[in-house]
A = this chain, B = another copy of it.
């Protein structure tokens, strides 16, 4: 047994040879090999090239004839909140019936209801609920995940969420990057007055972040910097403290307005600025110059009936764009990144090739995973998708149709 698998006669979207982040029109260059072949071994890609150039004499255990079908990198979901307790299906129902946020909040809904339900679960229960979601996401083609905390808002629960995220990343064929988002919302107990609020932010700086760093639980630090959440000044303090502790920034920015988040992301050199429903030419330029990846979350626009972010303008202005699910219990419980890819086209006006780059290579770059994910090149993880078509645009054209034939993670089939 060589442990080698060979995939033959495929249209391979390698995304090879890319710059650190594909920007602007370069996002469209998928570096396609027509009639390509790929060899995997020990969970990694061993060889990729034209079928005609396949090395002779290779001992292969397992040959797959693709008959012209597409092979592409597995999805990388660079913005999720997938570790949470309970669900908010009742709240969705209220919203569809026309209830406004105040009414939902009064009925016990909103983000703080997820905080209460998450605090109530022990680590194993939280793991179990989260692993069920992750399993569905894997079946939809995602094998690498960013996972944020932020439904604890107290030290103990934040640590528990991040530990669960780390445990999910220990599963076979699952890659996880964790993000401390303890500045996700101001919790009930800190809403009394400005003093209580300031004390909450101080505790993030003095207790939560140091404890998270001591246990090496977070690869990134994120803040919900927007109207109704945290101010630019509060965000700057949190991210500065994280940087002292060696934790690089990413940011929820400009979801509700031109509220300074995008400019701050550029100022601090965040890996990613996410949402960006409101983004003018000056803000786009700032993100481009700072090399910040602009992350679109079009599922959230759909669920909340908001306008879609203008992805077309971002690409045309030379930004590197990623697309993610935002999977969370309230504003977007969507798990299928392949569907969100289609929304990024129909809603945010990306081209199919740009959206494919956005959910693979660019997402991997934003997570510091470009050396192992998001492209099909020798040495990278054997995480890839077989499509049931010879034209990857079918993922967008027939959005939601079953074109995902098989999902491979670390060289093994993900069960359907």
Where the two chains meet, the residues of A that have a C-beta atom closer than 8 Å to any C-beta of B are 87-89, 92-93, 96-98, 136, 139-140, 299, 302-303, 305, 312, 333-336, 339-340, 343, 345-347, 349-352, 391, 393-394, 396-402, 416
Contacts and interface: CB of A to CB of B under 8 A. Distances in A.
Contact of A305 (B339, B346, B351, B400): B346
A334 B96 contact: no
Name, among A136, A345, A350, A400, the residue most crowded by chain B CB atoms within 10 Å (CB to CB): A400
Contacts of A391: 89
A400 B400 contact: yes
A227 B303 CA distance: 31
B139 A402 contact: yes
B400 A335 contact: yes
A346 B93 contact: no
A371 B53 CA distance: 61
21 contacts: A89-B393, A92-B393, A92-B397, A93-B393, A96-B345, A97-B351, A136-B402, A139-B402, A140-B402, A302-B347, A305-B346, A305-B349, A333-B397, A334-B399, A334-B400, A336-B399, A339-B400, A340-B400, A400-B400, A402-B416, A416-B416
Q: How many copies are assembled?
A: 2
A396 B394 CA distance: 23
Nearest to A343: B302
Contacts of A136: 398, 401-402
A346 B302 contact: yes
Name, among A299, A345, A399, the residue most crowded by chain B CB atoms within 10 Å (CB to CB): A399
Contacts of A350: 96
B339 A396 contact: no
